[in-house]
Amino acid sequence: METTTYKAAVTNAFNAAAASYDRMGVQFFAPMGQRLVEHAAPAAGQRVLDIGCGRGACLFPAAAAVGPSGQVLGIDIAPAMIDEAALEIARQRLSATVKVRVMDGEDPDLPAHSFDVITGSYSVIFMPDAPAAVARYARLLSPGGRLAFTSPVFTDDTFPFLPPVFTELIPARLLRNLPPAWQPDELRRRFNSWLADEGDLIATMHRAGFADVRVTDEDIDMVATSGEAWVDWSHTQGMRLLWQHLPPAESTELRERLITALDDMRDGPGPLSIPVPVRFVTATVAHS
């Protein structure tokens, strides 16, 4: 898929989802964002850039870490996401510390050496040329600055963006009518070509200008009130890009199949909890 067309599709998907993004009875992005900030470890008074900030899963933990003497800037390609984040910034009375701007995170138009920490929670994976973007982030960091981002733990047999359990829950026959660019094999090729293998990932980071690269895989619990809540929530995040390309019959069948299977996994009337392997990558810029 041509880059401009792809980015327009991503922007439109997240614009449409912004009002309900991460607000559908599922906990995942907020605890992952909190954990990412813990890995990044910004200090009081530092300057943080959050790539693909969405509604602020990293923004607000970062603001708490840097305190009133620090600065946090969140950028996102989707204007509606920025609008939602701005409302929350105002609600929390953090406008002196936290700013947001509409901007393409793949090529941020920002001054060199203007940040001490850059974070990106499940955002770098959506970029058509993520390794080139990572190299640009190195130039935005001050000496000794740190980059920290998350991605799924990709494997050849898992469906992109989803926990491994969904490999069994989403039958291949339901996806055969997807456009070629959205077929699972093509998505895996596009998104995990440098992220799946730890050695390739570290080598890519070194070429981009980073040292002390650390790759840590941790489970983050994805907690939903019900199978239906999870399916509704999946329309507000990355999987929306797949839902909107499924023909109506396949979409209906998949929805019913997932709700039933996920509810069967619940512990009685309690919530659904799925451990999701998440890859945390941290690195220090190599320039002095």
pLDDT tens for each residue of 243-267:
877 888 888 998 999 999 999 998 8
Assign domain 3-155+194-226+274-285 to a CATH class: alpha beta
How large a percentage of the chain has pLDDT more than 70?
A: 86
Can you give the length of the chain in residues?
288
pLDDT at 76 over 60: yes
Q: According to the model, what pLDDT value does residue 236 have?
A: 77
The mean pLDDT value of the chain amounts to 87
**Lowest-confidence pick of 19-23, 138-142, 165-169:** 19-23
Higher pLDDT, 25 or 158: 25
Task: Please give the model's pTM, rounded to 2 decimal places.
Answer: 0.88
DSSP 172-207: GGGGTTS-GGGSHHHHHHHHHTTTSSHHHHHHHHHH
Closest CA to 186 of 136, 241, 149, 133: 241
Task: Give the pLDDT band (50/70/90) at residue 90.
Answer: very high
How far, in Å, CA of 231 to CA of 131, rounded? 32
pLDDT at 73 over 90: yes
* 121: enclosing H helix or E strand: strand 115-121
How far, in Å, CA of 11 to CA of 20, rounded? 15
pLDDT at 150 over 90: yes
Q: According to the model, what pLDDT value does residue 11 have?
A: 67
Give the count of beta carbons closer than 10 Å to the beta carbon of residue 83.
16
Closest CA to 151 of 101, 100, 212, 194: 194
Task: Give the pLDDT band (50/70/90) at residue 194.
Answer: confident
Task: Give the pLDDT band (50/70/90) at residue 278.
Answer: very high
Q: Where are the alpha helices (DSSP H) in the chain?
A: 3-17, 29-40, 59-66, 79-91, 130-140, 166-169, 184-192, 198-207, 227-234, 240-243, 248-264
Higher pLDDT, 91 or 152: 91
How far, in Å, CA of 129 to CA of 141, rounded? 19
Task: Give the pLDDT band (50/70/90) at residue 139.
Answer: very high
* Residue entry with tokens 């599922």: 26
Domain edges within the chain: 3-155+194-226+274-285
> Which three-class secondary structure state does DSSP give residue 151?
strand
Task: Give the pLDDT band (50/70/90) at residue 126.
Answer: confident
Q: According to the model, what pLDDT value does residue 117 have?
A: 98
101 Cβ contact list (under 8 Å, min separation 6): 73, 74, 75, 82
CA 144 to chain centre: 24
